[in-house]
Amino acid sequence: MIDLRSDTVTRPTEAMRRAMAGAPVGDDVFGEDPTVNRLEEYVAELLGKEAAIYCPSGTMTNQIGLYLGTNRGDEVILHEAAHIFNYEAGAPALLSGVQVRPLSGERGVVSPEALRAAVRPENVHFPRPKLLCLENTHNVAGGRILPLEGFAAVAAEARTLGLKVHLDGARLFNAAVATSTPAREWCEHADTVSVCSSKGLGAPVGSLLAGDEETIREARRARKAFGGGMRQAGVIAAASLYAFEHHIERLAEDHERAKKLAAGLDRAGYRVEEPETNIVLVEVREAEEFLRALAREGVLATPRSESTIRLVTHLDVGDGEIDAVVEAASRLNSAALER
């Protein structure tokens, strides 16, 4: 099976497993795991933030970011296709007691004008808008890069309106590599940033939340409360550290393969959006039925809508697999055309 459902399906490499096996460990709830401490320092530096905290998942780092940026009854403003709004099991309501205000916008982006129009004045009737969340790259929009200038503009507007900014950077390094822009340049415009090591970077587990010292100190309490305090976590943190040290630049290969895949599918007669990073969205007649046929050809992907499927390139797919996927899809399309 060629698995293009997500970049989360990768297995740790041999070198990564060696790093895990040899990692010095301690009790991280006591702050005594040297590998976790190294990872946190490494990622804080990479993102240009004072501190970072290691957590089990991107959902947890996003939700800690939300929790620290709001009080009960406050409003969180985000794009209607945001991961935080759609795929985190209602956690903003469940864990932080906040109201989520989804806005529309081109390609996952909230414009400064839309933000300004959504922020309501101080009045006893209105929830208090406290936090703007944006996503880079944007998952549902097809791995779209949040342009730095656009992000800087909307973040500046948020600040003017008295809101904090959280950046869901699960795939921030895809954006950084694709644009040759250091990740920290986006982070400058955000109060808190989450990044995942378990997506394209290929670690089996892990996400980090970065911010200033005081925020991350509070985040340690929130992580404990949310059930994410881990003990000898160096065993898994070592994989994340390895991923940040060795797998960032190679994301360019995933982007090349996504382009190659899109071009091949285009030649085979499919309507494909030109990918910016490692996610390819393809139009088909009926997504679920198409995916079943594709699976019979040995290829796994996920539905994005009733007539769009998503294919994601990653560390465990090479050029040979991309060719095989294009061939499988070509067979399906010509079969459909002959019918």
Ligand X SMILES: *Cc1c(COP(=O)(O)O)cnc(C)c1O
Nearest-CB residue for ligand X: 58
CB 151, min distance to ligand X, A: 15
CB 268, min distance to ligand X, A: 27
Q: Which one-letter DSSP state was computed for residue 28? A: G
Sign of the CA dihedral with 75 first, then 78, 82, and 83 last: negative
As a whole number of angstroms, the distance between CA 31 and CA 53 comes to 11
Side-chain half-sphere exposure of 178, counting CA atoms within 13 A: 25
- 313: three-class secondary structure by DSSP: coil
Q: Specify which residues 65 forms β-bridges with.
A: none
Asked if 173 and 137 touch (Cβ cutoff 8 Å), the reply is: no
CB 331, min distance to ligand X, A: 30
CB 282, min distance to ligand X, A: 18
As a whole number of angstroms, the distance between CA 222 and CA 217 comes to 9
Of residues 86 and 333, the one with the C-beta less far from ligand X? 86
Contacts of 33 (CB under 8 A, 6+ apart): 25, 26, 27, 231, 232, 233, 234, 237
Give the residues lining the site for ligand X (CB under 6 A).
Answer: 57-59, 62, 83, 135, 139, 168, 170, 196, 198-199, 207
Whole-number CA gyration radius for the chain: 20
CB 57, min distance to ligand X, A: 3
- How remote is the C-alpha of 34 from its chain's centroid? 26
What number of other Cβ atoms are within 10 A of residue 153's Cβ?
15
HEC secondary structure over 175-228: HHHHHCCCHHHHHCCCCEEEEECCCCCCCCCCEEEEECHHHHHHHHHHHHHCCC
CB 45, min distance to ligand X, A: 22
CB 87, min distance to ligand X, A: 7
Of residues 139 and 192, the one with the C-beta less far from ligand X? 139
